[in-house]
């Protein structure tokens, strides 16, 4: 409960930062469908691939301002982030621009944002990072599990329906 309150107090700042960041990079954004990945259309709807955007950067993807009171999150965002998702847009570093598997992973986060909504996504993600760390936080673990399935099993399935069901079963 304490962590929820710590994150909730910064929601307006984080949401404003996200909106401003998306506006600042809107001219660079491309629809995912324009990358013409051969396998993604077998897993995601045309609507999702059309309504999701990618911003390819030469630098590390932008991260929101983190208040000193949430300093345990700072270390999690240091280093070489390959990508990060805000709402229906994700930012990836140039060297990963054509890594279909990374796009798959970030699209899982797009679905999560859509299903949970902005505030619930931020709170859930923040609490999970604080309590469990990056790799085993629920939302990241879900994205990594589906990404592994994409890489190793190769059999298309309705990712959107499965992610929505997983979220409904786990997060009330």
- Cα separation, 162 vs 142, in Å, equals 10
- Predicted pLDDT at 126: 83
- Predicted pLDDT at 149: 96
- Cα separation, 30 vs 76, in Å, equals 27
Mention every residue, 6+ apart, whose C-beta is less than 8 A from residue 28. 55, 56, 57
- Cα separation, 98 vs 94, in Å, equals 8
- Predicted pLDDT at 62: 87
DSSP reduced 3-state for 55: strand
Query: Going by DSSP bridges, is the β-strand pair 83-86/30-31 parallel, antiparallel, or unpaired?
Result: unpaired
Whether 73 contacts 130, CB under 8 Å: yes
> E strands within the chain?
30-31, 53-57, 83-86, 89-93
> Mean pLDDT of residues grouped by 10 in the chain (172 residues)?
73 93 97 97 98 95 72 61 94 96 98 96 85 80 96 93 95 72
DSSP reduced 3-state for 33: helix
- Predicted pLDDT at 76: 60
């Amino acid at each position: 409960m304490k962590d929820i309150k710590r994150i909730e107090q910064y929601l307006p700042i984080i949401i404003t930062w996200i909106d401003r960041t998306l506006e600042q990079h809107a001219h660079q954004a491309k629809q995912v469908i324009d990358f013409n990945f051969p396998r993604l259309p077998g897993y995601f709807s045309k609507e999702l691939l059309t309504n999701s955007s990618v911003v390819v950067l030469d630098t590390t993807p932008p991260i929101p301002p983190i208040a000193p009171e949430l300093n345990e999150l700072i270390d999690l965002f240091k280093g070489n982030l390959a990508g990060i998702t805000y709402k229906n847009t994700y930012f990836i570093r140039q060297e990963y621009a054509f890594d279909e598997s990374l796009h798959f992973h970030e699209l899982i986060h797009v679905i999560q944002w859509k299903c949970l909504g902005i505030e619930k996504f931020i709170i859930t993600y923040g609490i999970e990072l604080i309590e469990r760390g990056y790799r085993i936080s629920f939302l990241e673990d879900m994205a990594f599990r589906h990404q592994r399935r994409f890489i190793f099993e190769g059999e298309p399935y309705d990712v959107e329906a499965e992610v929505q069901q997983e979220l409904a079963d786990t997060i009330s």
